[in-house]
Amino acid sequence: MSRVLVVGAGFAGAVVARELADRGIDVDLIDRRDHLAGNAFDPVDAATGIRVHRFGPHIFHTSDRQVVDWLSRFTGWLPYRHRVEAFVAGVGHVPLPINRTTLNRLYGLELRTEPEMRAFLDRVRASHPRPANAREAAENLYGAELTELFFARYSRKMWELDLADLPSSVVARLPVRYDDNPEYFDDAFQALPDLGYGALFENMLDHERIRVRLATPFSRGCERGYDHVFTSAAIDDWFDLRFGPLPYRSIRFAHRVVADHRQSVPTVNLTDASPVTRITDWRLYPGHGAGADALLTSETPCSYEDNGFERYYPAKRVDGVPQERYARYRALADALPSVTFIGRCGQYQYFDMHQVVANSRLIARRFLATAAAA
């Protein structure tokens, strides 16, 4: 094996590139964007000195110690336990995921113990013995009113679909709280790279066998001269949309400087009918800078076709149509011996950062084992 092309300088591509280079393979890594780190790109704003995640908050969290140890070769860490609140009209800010404080503020209750909270939820929750969709899964936990307020409204903004049209996995990622724990994740390790994701990626790709070319889009024919291609580009694009496009949702990010802004946690979800899903104040993340003025980012979901074909979230549905379409593309991909599809768009799968690191390392190791056996 002499030369490999990797398309995409986000986590999927960069991890594959480093794993191959460490095993003696020469790698050319290209990306159509003019920066490393993909959607984790987090430059320091020149005007305010505040670090901003250009494509929305990226909080690293995992309970996989192997992933932490591997990434720690390239970065130090700033410990941070992520907190999110939701703004509810007439009530104010309440913790999310729903916890005891959330219910006490919403309903004017004085729940003090876990049994009291469980008893309250037992009174309001629905009973769907075999939940067929995300709405039924959420109602099994919280009942119709809380599901509508915290999940259904957000989902209509995010997916432009009713919660009943989405798989139950959409709400499965949120932990259930029966106490006042305000943390968003349960993972043992939660942190941010001490010098930002950009520095992490620069260190990861600092290898004599890796050559990086940014602002270099992939086009058919680029793969000639390489023994193998790993691509994080959209799998349906590779096959010229033969079975139709795979649906995605995208996000429009609006960054603005605001004087005298106040919110108690870095990211606040909005439960109203406006198109905006959440607002982030970057000063509140450790190591991101401080000042009198806030650098805020608001997020408005949209169709990826209406946002320069920027694909962020695979839009799977309970009817299974997108998943079945992807399976047809996957079958075509499996017949290509010299191409491997990686990452969120290549595998049509939502990955948290720790998941894409583990997944990409596994892909690279399997490839190396196969190449060694050939």
Average pLDDT over residues 58-80: 98
Same-domain status, 166 and 241: no
Write the single-letter amino acid at 196.
Answer: G
Provide the number of structural domains found in the chain.
2
Same-domain status, 328 and 231: yes
- The CATH number of residue 365's host domain is 3.40.50.720
Same-domain status, 102 and 147: yes
Query: Does residue 233 lie in a domain region?
Result: yes
Check if the beta carbon of residue 229 is closer than 8 Å to that of residue 339. Answer: yes
Q: What is the pTM (predicted TM-score) of this model?
A: 0.96
Range of the domain at 116: 84-172
Query: Does residue 162 lie in a domain region?
Result: yes
Same-domain status, 112 and 227: no
Average pLDDT over residues 129-156: 95
Binned at pLDDT 50, 70 and 90, residue 223 comes out as: confident
Average pLDDT over residues 139-149: 96
For position 1, what pLDDT does the model report? 58
Binned at pLDDT 50, 70 and 90, residue 294 comes out as: very high
User: How many Å apart are CA 235 and CA 352, to the nearest integer?
Assistant: 19
Give every strand in the sheet of 210-213, ordered side by side.
210-213, 26-30, 3-7, 228-231, 339-341
Check if the beta carbon of residue 342 is closer than 8 Å to that of residue 231. Answer: yes
Same-domain status, 23 and 115: no
Same-domain status, 107 and 158: yes
Q: State CA 328 to chain mean position distance.
A: 25
Average pLDDT over residues 105-116: 97
Q: What is the mean pLDDT of the chain?
A: 96
- 239-286, pLDDT tens digit by residue? 999 999 999 999 999 999 999 898 999 999 999 999 999 999 999 999
- 5-36, pLDDT tens digit by residue? 999 999 999 999 999 999 999 999 999 999 99
For position 373, what pLDDT does the model report? 78
Other C-beta atoms lying within 10 Å of the C-beta of residue 230: 27
Which residues share a beta bridge with 361? none
Q: Which residue has the higher pLDDT, 291 or 78?
A: 78
For position 198, what pLDDT does the model report? 98
Q: Is the pLDDT of residue 290 over 90?
A: no
Query: Does residue 297 lie in a domain region?
Result: no
Which residue from 158, 263, 197 is spatially nearest to 59, judged by alpha carbons? 197
Which residue from 254, 268, 210, 231 is spatially nearest to 343, judged by alpha carbons? 231
